[in-house]
Chains A and B, each alone.
Chain A
Amino acid sequence: MTFLGMPAASLTGGNLDGEQPFPEAARLSVGNAQLRRNLGAATHTIRGKRAAVVSELPDWQELRAAGAAIKDDVLANLERYLLQLEQQVTARGGTVHWARDAQEANRIVTDLVKATGASEVVKVKSMATQEIGLNEALEQAGIEAFETDLAELIVQLGHDKPSHILVPAIHRNRSEIREIFLREMPDVDPALTDVPAALAEAARGHLRRKFLTAEVAISGANFAVAETGTLAVVESEGNGRMCLTLPKTLITVMGIEKLVPTWRDLEVFLQLLPRSSTGERMNPYTSMWTGAVEGQQFHLVLLDNGRTATLADPQGRSALRCIRCSACLNVCPVYERAGGHAYGSVYPGPIGAVLSPQLTGVDRNPSLPYASTLCGACYDVCPVAIDIPSMLVHLRARVVDDKREQHRLPSPEQAAMAAASWTMRDSRRWTRALRAVRLSKPLRGWRLLPPPLSSWISSRDLPAAPAQSFRDWWTEREKSRDE
């Protein structure tokens, strides 16, 4: 439900919507057998690991509730915490920039890099910079960005797009990765095998040269502590830490919802995140920095890009609790079959289906709220208890309302829904409608039917229409009992 005064998300640039609606994009990916195999294997493995480490914690539900409560406090008092963060970061030698949307954030970062005179930057894996399309913007300004997260590197070298929040190259298997490295990596050993250790070694050699020469690093942030101005990045490879510590200039792009009020709040999230995302008890590398270290420059770019608009919807705002763990992707039966690219946004899966349309406005992503069976698996695993299924249902109503506003004539779906509502609200009309069901009997076995039945019979037979509705049977039974 839209209400007056809700800021509309009006964004420029960025990677939050695709060229095709979800069902069409998914048709292609569902038909890709290799992709289905890669995704099925990978999601089931992470799913199992997560379930095992979550079940170890007796207070998981309490942690989850605490995570949700902390984030809700942040969202309810966002302005205060953001100003506090700005003050703390500035007091410790950092510079804070505010970006309304993708275009503004890209311009700020590009100008900052240009000011250093660097023509190359190294990057820590970051969703925010993927969201705004920073690499493309830098490229246009003649600056080359090197992704240093192994999976992001695979995606970048493969001229590909990330398809998962945590494992951007989840759609690739190791033999495909070997081919990408052989084709795209300069100085690669032509005898490279597809053994994971060999692939990692090749990436390490390639990246080490970049770490030692880069003057500028760009990162995202998993968390920012308002009370101290501390930023945190959580990762598995140590490549992030190289970027955060070696170059002279560090630029961090962070969504405004990534805040936690106090240092102590990290205790909750550093338990929730690794167990939910990689299925580890603790993540291997947690880097934290406060302001600028001596000899280093630190810039923090705070990104809105539709977040304020999301915050304005009381039934949609809890999507901003998300800590990008991707547990919902790994358990989602739709994601498992369709893959991340089908969602058209850097945020795929269940959380993407509620976040992307809110960040862009539902008019730019009308098919995503429908990209779910509402099976509820996502809500069960969400470490900050985002009720994704209910939010999807809410966003579907917003999509329908938006279409009503855009078009004067009702769509066939709107007409059918109105007709069904009119028929079903009155028991006499409904009783007669049910009698008409048996007229559909001859349709069974037909292979050509109009939409939406054509979608049904593409893979499923129609049910056999019974000779009599239950209510007619009941009425007869009651009559014969009375006699």
Chain B
Amino acid sequence: MRVALFITCLADGLYPDVAKATVGLLERLGHEVEVPLQQSCCGQMHINTGYPREAVPLIRNHVDAFAGYDAIVAPSASCTASIRHQHGEVASSIGDASLIASTAEIAARTYELSEFLTDVLEVTDVGAYYPHRVTYHPTCHSLRLLRVGDRPLQLLRQVRGIDLVELPDAESCCGFGGTFALKNPDVSTAMLADKMQNVLQTRAEVCAAGDSSCLMHIGGGLSRLKVGVRTVHLAEILAST
């Protein structure tokens, strides 16, 4: 099986440790990972802000970069959801038959990390050791677009040394929402405040999630509060030994 990593633009530029952890984890499980460097961004930010036209070249680049792999793994539910649901829609809106076909092909082979581990590799115990008190925030796009259900929790429960505590009102959005965080900073912050209050209530030292974007938002808020709770991506926990 030829496995490619979709780094995601956010991990590439701001959270390289998340992508390194994803590679490290998959290699530890015995898979060779390729990283086609032609890749950049899935274009979700453009699509969701009202710029599908500007997303088209990014989608073209994405399907070119990932042609020929058996599986494409991304440490992000949100980017995976965009590839799976939005790329085809944008391709349809411009009526490009070959792009419609190639986006469908790439979409069918793209997996969010927890999906890839549990559904394709069929592992839940990845041999990780992580001796910390952790609470898990299920991101909206993992829950309601990809329907990953409790896959991430199945993986986390098998981690040795972990003290996994349930997050109250876990399924509520953290308030990030891409450019929403910038266009509607007051509502975004109000949602963040409630999310952080719930995180603090668990007395966890780490808030984990499967999307760097939501973690950037929650982590940025926690850092501002100086409460000594940090955000860590699911991949980093699963890669720890």
Contact = CB atoms under 8 A, between A and B. Distances in A.
A437 B14 contact: yes
B9 A463 contact: no
B47 A421 contact: no
**Which bucket holds chain A's interface residue count?**
35 or more
A396 B48 contact: yes
Interface stretch (B101-109, B119-127, B155-163, B213-221): B213-221
Interface string A423-447: 0111100110110010000000000
Interface string A399-433: 11000000000000110011011001111001101
B137 interface: no
A400 B49 CA distance: 9
B202 interface: no
Given A372-B180, A459-B192, A471 B37 contact: yes
A454 B140 CA distance: 25
B220 A373 contact: no
Nearest to B141: A376
Interface in B173-199: 173, 175-193
A334 interface: yes
A466 interface: yes
Contacts, number: 194
Given A30-B190, A421-B46, A379 B144 contact: yes
B177 A424 contact: no
B93 A1 contact: yes
Interface in B1-44: 7, 9, 11-17, 19-20, 23, 35, 37-41, 43
A379 B141 CA distance: 12
A263 interface: no
Contacts of B176: 373
B220 A471 contact: no
Residue from the set A27, A373, A393 with the largest chain B CB neighbour count within 10 Å = A373
Contacts of A466: 13-17
Interface of A: 1, 22-23, 26-27, 30-31, 36, 333-334, 337-338, 367, 369-377, 379-380, 390, 393, 396-400, 413-414, 417-418, 420-421, 424-427, 430-431, 433-434, 437, 451-452, 455-456, 458-463, 465-466, 468-471, 473-475
Interface of B: 7, 9, 11-17, 19-20, 23, 35, 37-41, 43, 45-52, 54-55, 57-58, 60-61, 65, 85-86, 89, 93, 140-141, 143-145, 171-173, 175-193, 216-217, 219-221, 223-224
